[in-house]
Structure 1
Amino acid sequence: MKTVAIYSRKSKFTGKGESIENQIQMCKDYITQKYGNSLTFLVYEDEGFSGGSLERPKFKKLMKDIATKKIDALVCYRLDRISRNVSDFSSTLSRLQDYNCAFISIREEFDTSSPMGRAMIYIASVFAQLERETIAERVKDNMLELAKAGRWTGGKVPLGFVSERIKNIDENGMQREYTLLKINKEEMNFVEFLYKKYLELGSLHKLEGYITENELKSRNGIMFEKSTLKIILQNPIYVKANNEVVEYLNSNDWTVYGEADNIHAFLSYNKTEQTFRNGKYTKRLKDKEERFVALSSIEGYIEPALWLDVQRQFDRNKDKFPRLGKTHNALLVGKLLCGECNEYMLVQHGKLSPVTGKKNFYYNCSLKRKSHKKLCSNKNAKADYIEKLVLNSLKLIGKSKKVFLEKLKIEYKARLKDIDSTTEIISLSKSLEEKKKQIDNLVTKLSFASDIEDILLDKIKLLKSECTDIETKIRKIEDKNKKTKIDDLNADIILSLLSECERIDTLSRDEQRKLICMLIDKVYWYGSDNESGNGKVKIKFLVGNDDNSIEFDIPEGNLGEKKLQFCSPSISSIK
């Protein structure tokens, strides 16, 4: 420890007690007694500044000096001289740690140069986390109270409304802002049209088909999906709330706040929550008893009778919705796309076969189904036919795996040779080392030359930026090398998978599905115009990276031992 910074602060000058001068002297005496006389002291004083904020001139100067690494330790009389805010104090300690600067508080004997002192950092962090969680809980409670009062608490503005910021003065003379939703007449007319059309057609499925067929889109130019239409048709924000609406909501386990006035609408709250699962954030529905609606200051638009008729139609449809058999046995769900419109194809149940007595299954284009053949006319694919084509193609490629993999390995090795990485990394590393030495020399000069501080700091920033660029280049080269080695390793994995493909027709459905998932990216279906129900498929394999993907066409009929035409930027046709 060579250079010690002493920081002292007092909210206002009183001329008595723990004055700035007394704090400094006590700090010097404590450090001298403990570490000896061969120390350089730098003093930073903030008088007349509160500890509730870090926005203090000398404190900011202190942190700037610490960042240049010319201070070995920061000493203060008491912890609250740094900050009275636990979170700010914890963040300050974290910054000191980043720059290897010890922290010592003489009153509490808080010294991070010792193991016990460093442990105190983590204790402070725990209190900071507690404070953050307490604030978050308080904000959540306030939001719920606002919700119970019918206030719009934010989120995506529903179709039919626009948001507007309102300012007013509260009883304490403070200016407050809040968001108010107002009716967009043109959009709201469309919402009313959806309510009436749903009743006319009788189901969400038919309404979705009508919307798709007529290419009616949202304000963002996106086609309406069933889920979006359902939210619009069941949202109480549109209805002029009356006692009948309240009774309906109560009967469906909603807690209702406020008295219905046949003018204003209800806002719904607390229906979903965000959870972290399987490495990503997802929304899930909360328990029914946690959700509630509150009468808002937003004017309703849909008449109660119309809104209730729509809800009752939903209830009737729910009771008679057909419970079809599960289709988890389909091999190509999530992989099969329509060759005409590039939309996913979904499994559709057919009639029982009079010959086998089993139910037939088809893959049907989702856009064709929704638009009633207006936007896509691709023929349906018989599930057993197209799955057989794909399985046979995997079997054939399994038989030709050696030639294919040899070409793949040659390409990988060629890519590896093209990367003259060793020489480039040595050159970049040498340049990086030189620039770091320049930074160290400038930092040394900076500690003795305060008159040219700004010039030196600008030069240091420029050199640090150049160092960052060089480090990024080195990292990219190393990543590319790793990727090439991984690709080489992948070839061995693919070989074992293709060996399995040779006997794919003897494997179970689960094993076949796993092979399809691991080897195939997408399958495109092109239905035939004749009555045979046959067609052809194009398969895109998951091999190497995107630039190395492989496609080939499979014609109508059985494959037999035909030649498969592989299309790749670097791999020629193989048998």
Structure 2
Amino acid sequence: MRIAVYVRKSKWTGRGESIENQIFLCREYIEKYIENSREAQILVYRDEGFSGKDTNRPQFQKMLADMKLRPFQYLVCYRLDRLGRNLADLALLIEKLNREHTEFVSIRERFDTSTPMGKAMVYFSGVLAQMEREQIGERVRDNMYLLAKSGRWLGGNTPLGFQVREKLYGEGKLKKAFYLEVKEKEAEIPRLIFREFLDSHSLTKTAELLVERQIFTRRDRIYTPEAIGEILENPVYCQSGEKAYEYFASLGCQMGFSREEIREEKGLISYGRTVSSRYRGQEASPQEWIIAQGEHEGMISQEDFLRVQKLLKRHRLGKPGEGRVQNEACLLSGFLFCSCGCRMRPKYYRREQITTEGQRKFSYRCPCRDKTRGRDCQEIPLLGNLGDCLVWKFLMKKTGEEFSLEEIFLEIRRRTEKEKSREGEWEKIRKEAQGLEREARRLTQRLAETEDGDLAEFLKKEIQSRLAQREYLREKANGEKNSFNKKERENIARRYSDPKFLSSCLSVPNKRAYLGLWAEKLIWEGGVLKLYLFVSPELP
């Protein structure tokens, strides 16, 4: 007998429902209530520091993979929301357990999914868990909005040119609040960056100017174009004003002050720009941002700040993963980083230097090492042809273990084909489908709450109607986007069922698109190439 125990906690606290407590209680339950459990093989899967909003958790994915290879007889968890707080994910998991004849046990709720009532209770609890997660998000955002109206600094890396000032307030027991204020000596650097970029229209030239003037970061490293781009995009440097207000409102940002409250001598401050602390470097969409007036002075006039944003939009270098990779021959372009943090760039050798396959030799080099002549980085270059070859071979081997090549080809094609026409119509269809999905979710919540049989039947029909409309819109959009019919796709997929043929026919941009499904980034450190994979590639 095989019994799986799954435990999860969003963050470590060492008390209450800790990982160790959950494991102890699950084992205790197994010994008391599951027959023949003394001889059973108990496998514990633990995810600590991962939210239950989705299933992108390492140990959870490993548990599913193990269950697929050899099913469990029982899956035991401390509480249902440890598995997840998303109703759709829970429903899919229960269906998988039923197909594998695996009984699910939640020791707090005492669910038994082998009965219809047990399944219904699981789904109902899933609705409550999802509602709780959404309410938590709403409360956090409401609190952030209230803090934003006061212009406080909520923590994190202090922006360049600023320092944090502490302020006490309240009666009796005093409380602390923190605000930004300009640090004049350091503030000259961001002012110089904005001036130079407005003159040169180039992030690279701006970075080169800082190197020439021996201006380095707080950690005594060179400013990369990416770092300069982040500074130029940060609203904290922009002076408040009518034009700035209109700009951020047009992006869909939630404004933490009204037009009547505008004080042009003050600077702006943004909240909620990053997705979460675990996904550094990944920004939320502007619709998730809150823009408020801070207590600090704005360094850059709103006119200059808006001019910079237009220039960045026109030819953005962007953050890792956002920039347009123009190279048509180097697979790892855009993914490969030096151990010092700089994105490595390919550099070709002389034309007469070619490989045995007839390819021109090149290497990936660290721009920090080249610009400072080894002062700030001593990492040796990576042989480009060899690195590309080894990474692609690894991906092909990994692929064969988890997916059919038909899936791979269709996904590569979907990711790389250029669809320039009718984008506005597709976006409209997508938003319409999302609206129908939201309506279906709301109706599902009402269905879970009602005890009226007639109302329940009506809600079920409405939910089915919304979902049917959503599927119709999705099929319509997919049908218009896809220029191949089903028979042609099947024929092409059969042609590409041979890995060698697939590898030889795919262009480097195609291969790079596939690499993006698997790898978050690669780091070259001390002569070792480290490949950071996602938990699971995003194949449909």
**TM-score of Structure 1 vs Structure 2, range by shorter chain:** 0.3 to 0.5
Higher strand share: 1
Structure index of larger Rg: 1
Q: Structure 1 length normalisation: TM-score?
A: 0.39
Q: Structure 2 length normalisation: TM-score?
A: 0.41
